[in-house]
């Protein structure tokens, strides 16, 4: 059974810092990995999707990497801003037709 | 595009009552997913449909839960009878089948916050 772990559970950084969020999964036979953002009381917003054949994806200040063999993904946020404050979730699709297994999330706070 | 639409946004009910949650997926999307989010268990997939047909309902917790998708633009998740432990945020998501072997992102609705007293 796929298990997804995210470290740290919570993170507080001053504005402007670069930061890394970690995601690890137990079954490396994944189809893709997706990073989401969730604001309090809101739904999930898809940030980046990395296919199993890819090593990384970039969107603006966000960069996600994937190392299937070690069962790890990282989400790099450059020059963090207060508006980045949210919970970040990673989810893996083990290829059984779109069944995403979610991590428990990292709650990020970017302070002024 | 309005995105995935869910209603109601908030529902408060008493134990034993029937609860119906509704979802309208993004037009053109052929997969629809129902998730439940709680503090204790995080986000869990309950059931998903492909072309209106239920494919996997192994995540549905009990027979009290049922889901239908009568057409491509509408799905319901029903709980009957409801219990306090069903209190959670229920999300609906949809996605579109891409080219062979090319996965597509799931797009989530805003969720329905259910409180069962």
pLDDT computed for residue B104 by the predictor: 66
**Which residues of chain B does A36 touch, with a Cβ-Cβ cutoff of 8 Å?**
108
pLDDT computed for residue A84 by the predictor: 97
- The pLDDT tens digits for B55-78 are 999 999 889 999 999 999 999 999
pLDDT computed for residue A82 by the predictor: 96
User: Per-residue b/e over A72-105, b at no fewer than 16 CB within 10 Å?
Assistant: bbbbebeebeeebbbbbbbbbbbeeebbbbbbbb
- The pLDDT tens digits for A39-97 are 988 889 989 989 888 999 999 999 999 999 999 999 999 999 999 999 999 999 886 66
pLDDT computed for residue A19 by the predictor: 95
Looking at chain B from residue 97 to 116, which residues have their Cβ under 8 Å from any Cβ of chain A?
102-111, 113
**Which residues of chain B does A43 touch, with a Cβ-Cβ cutoff of 8 Å?**
4, 91, 108-111
- The pLDDT tens digits for A3-39 are 999 999 999 999 999 999 999 999 988 888 999 999 9
pLDDT computed for residue A31 by the predictor: 86
Question: Does B31 reach chain A within 8 Å, measured CB to CB?
Answer: yes
* Tokens (6 digits) for A108: 């990020």
Residue whose structure tokens are 């989010």: B37
pLDDT computed for residue A53 by the predictor: 87
- Give the 3-state secondary structure of residue A8: coil
- Residue A1: pLDDT band with limits 50, 70, 90: confident
Give the separation between CA A85 and CA B11, rounded to whole angstroms: 27
- Comparing CB atoms, the residue among A36, A43, A97 nearest residue B111 is A43
Residues of chain B with pLDDT under 50: 99-101
Pair A64, A35: CB distance under 8 Å? yes
**Which residues of chain B does A89 touch, with a Cβ-Cβ cutoff of 8 Å?**
43
- Cross-chain Cβ contact A34/B105 below 8 Å: yes
**Which residues of chain B does A49 touch, with a Cβ-Cβ cutoff of 8 Å?**
103-105
């Amino acid at each position: 059974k796929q298990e997804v772990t995210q470290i740290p559970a919570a993170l507080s950084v001053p504005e402007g810092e670069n930061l890394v969020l970690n995601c690890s999964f137990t079954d490396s036979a994944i189809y893709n990995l997706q990073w989401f953002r969730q604001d309090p009381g809101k739904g999930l917003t898809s940030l980046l999707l990395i296919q199993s054949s890819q090593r990384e994806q970039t969107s603006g200040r966000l960069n996600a990497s994937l190392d299937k063999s070690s069962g790890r993904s990282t989400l790099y946020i450059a020059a963090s801003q207060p508006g980045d404050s949210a919970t970040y979730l990673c989810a893996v699709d083990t290829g059984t037709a779109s069944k995403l297994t979610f991590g428990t999330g990292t709650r990020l706070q970017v302070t002024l | 595009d309005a995105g995935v639409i869910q209603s109601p946004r908030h529902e408060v009910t008493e134990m034993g009552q029937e609860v119906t949650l509704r979802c309208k997926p993004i037009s053109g999307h052929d997969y629809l997913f129902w998730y439940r989010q709680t503090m204790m268990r995080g986000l869990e997939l309950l059931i998903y449909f492909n072309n209106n047909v239920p494919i996997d309902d192994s995540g549905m917790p009990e027979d009290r839960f049922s889901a239908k998708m009568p057409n491509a633009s509408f799905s319901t998740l029903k709980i009957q009878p409801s219990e306090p432990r069903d209190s959670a945020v229920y999300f609906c998501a949809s996605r579109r089948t891409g080219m062979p072997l090319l996965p597509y992102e799931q797009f989530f609705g805003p969720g329905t916050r259910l409180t069962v007293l």
